[in-house]
Structure 1
Amino acid sequence: MLLKDKVVLVINAELPVGKAIAIDCARHGAHVAINADPMTRQAAEILSAIAALGRRGYCVEGQALEASSARALVADVVQALGRFDVLISCAAVAPPHDFLTTPADAFQRAVKVGVTGTYAALQAAARQMIAQGWGGAIIAVNTEPPGQAFNAIAYAETQDLMQMWADTLRKDEVRCNMVRLDAPRAQAGADLTAFDELTGPVVFLASDLARNVSGTTIRVGDGAPLAMVTA
């Protein structure tokens, strides 16, 4: 088991890709916290699947929109599951607009969740991993079609952020990487098999096998050379 007894937090786990990643992490031995509304059917299905695999699952509410809320998410996971080893942040769904039609308020909301929230979550996770003394892994996952205005900016910002923090956190054994699932698989619905080619690289990056891998972007899917890695 690649992730035996590690504790993983999956942000935006109610999305199909988040669900697939959370379940596959449990399949590889992790205890999994999901950041989702606990009252939804998706959350219940994920927790049930995790339990069926003999792993502990936990649902933590709230959004990492700023530093204080991100710290609260991480602290909640530590209290429930005892430690914190891996943060997997799945990109929130972007407004369905192109560059010329995106309303300003929709764009601002999306930036607050997708860029500011990603930064806050990364910072809170890294601080906890460093405090524990054994490092960990932070993985940003992007599955949005590339033609949307917000996604193009969020993808570029997140990629730069992961590369910057990879250099900063290397000495503390905290790894920062990104996985991008290209269209058309990015537009898949509830069929979790559509994400099989994505979950493998995510699990690998979360595992100790990737202890020397940081600051990379892995692109997978029909629209890209399979598992193309860029430093």
Structure 2
Amino acid sequence: MNPSLFPSDKVFTVSELNEIIKEILEGTFPAITLEGEISNYRPNSSGHLYFNLKDSGSVISAVMFRYSAAYLDFIPKDGTKVQATGKLSVYGPQGKYQIVITKMTVAGEGAVLKMIEERKRRLSAEGLFDESRKRKLPLFPRTIGVVTSPTGAALRDILQITKRRNKCVSVIVFPTLVQGDGAAENIVQQIQNANNAKLCDVLIVGRGGGSLEDLLPFSEECVVRAISQSEIPVVSAV
């Protein structure tokens, strides 16, 4: 519906105006992708997600219904920058509009995944992931080395499970940064320290959960090469 078709002296009811706005917005934007920051995140017990998307100057209401939210591979929270794809919807009785989101990813995630896949193909071509390079795990390791954050939940889980499964196994922690600047180099150094010291039979390299960006240090080329060169069998626990 084109408002310019109406004479200038046309008097609309509120309902008529909202209906025109609804037709224009929903007809013009059958699908749209927005980038913004999540705010006022309000998950509902029904499984629907209600929140706002904002940037430095504006905000828009958003909803992601349960059947779409079920496919999310991250946990939304206030402050997370995302790319959200959906359609605009106008609720006529209140004259409000929102975006109904059908797909949402952490902003920049697509480029990061593409970079990781390219790195994987390149290193695979060098043979770094060949089965012949994999070292057999000892059947009954006496000492396990763990390269991880000394304060993280991952270490607590490893210690609890090890104690429950076999109290005779010793655990040596090689503390490292697990995210942020310098983390990859720190991980590499501790893998090398474990090999130089030869104090453990198997080495666990890992951390707890996090966003794709948080996990990036464990995908850095220097870490992959350090693991491939390790004489100690390495278990990835990321």
TM over 0.5: no
Q: Which structure's residues are more often strand, by fraction?
A: 2
Please tell me whether Structure 1 or Structure 2 has the larger radius of gyration of its CA atoms. Answer: 2
Normalised by the size of structure 1, how large is the TM-score? 0.31
Scaled by the length of structure 2, what TM-score is found?
A: 0.30
Larger helix proportion of the pair: 1
